[in-house]
Amino acid sequence: MSDNVTKTDGFLLAAALAAVGRPAREIASAVGVCERTVRRWNGRPSFRAVVTKLRNELLSTAIGRLLAATGDAADTLAGLLTRSNEQLKFAAAAKILQISLRARESEELRSKIEELEILVKELLSNEPIQPRYQGAESNQASRHEESQSGEND
C-alpha cells in the first residue's frame, strides 16, 4: 500500500469498489494490496457491512433521481395520447392503465399490511382488540335479524 493511502483509506476504497461490483483483482490493484488481502477483507462481516451500506446509499441516490424524473415521464406518456399515430396512442393508453392498476394494487397491499401490523402488535400486547370496522358487527346483526324475519313470514 502506498505511503499516502492509510490502511483505513484502502479498506474504504476497497469497500467502495466492491460495492459497485469490481473484481478482487481490480480492487487489489487500485488499493495497492494483494488479491488475497481483498478476499480476506471480503470474508469479514465488518467489510461486508460497509459494502452493504455503500450499496444502499448508491441505490437510494439512484431511486431519488428516478423519483425526481417521474413527473416528466408521466407527462411524456400522457402527451403521447394526443399524437396522431393510433398505435402510439394505444400503447401509451395501455401503459398508463397498466401502471395505474399496479399502483392501486400496491396501495391496497400497503394498506392491508399496515392493518396486519397493527393487529399483530395488539395481539402481542395482550390488550383487547378493538373492532377495525365500525358497523361490521351491526351489519352482521341486521343481516341475522332480516333472515329471522324472513323465516317468520
> For residue 1, what are the CA distances in angstroms to 8, 30, 43, 89, 146?
11, 9, 20, 60, 85
Burial label for 87, CB within 10 Å (0-12, 13-18, 19+), is exposed
pLDDT in tens, the chain (153 residues): 444 446 688 999 999 999 999 999 999 999 999 999 999 999 999 999 999 999 999 999 999 999 999 999 999 999 999 999 999 999 999 999 999 999 999 999 999 999 999 989 888 887 666 666 655 444 555 545 555 555 555
The pLDDT score that the predictor gives to residue 122 is: 86
Rounded Cα–Cα distance for residues 70 and 105 (Å): 19
The pLDDT score that the predictor gives to residue 102 is: 94
**Cell representation of residue 126:** 395482550
The pLDDT score that the predictor gives to residue 141 is: 52
- The backbone torsions φ and ψ at residue 40, rounded to the nearest 5 degrees and listed phi first, read -65, -45
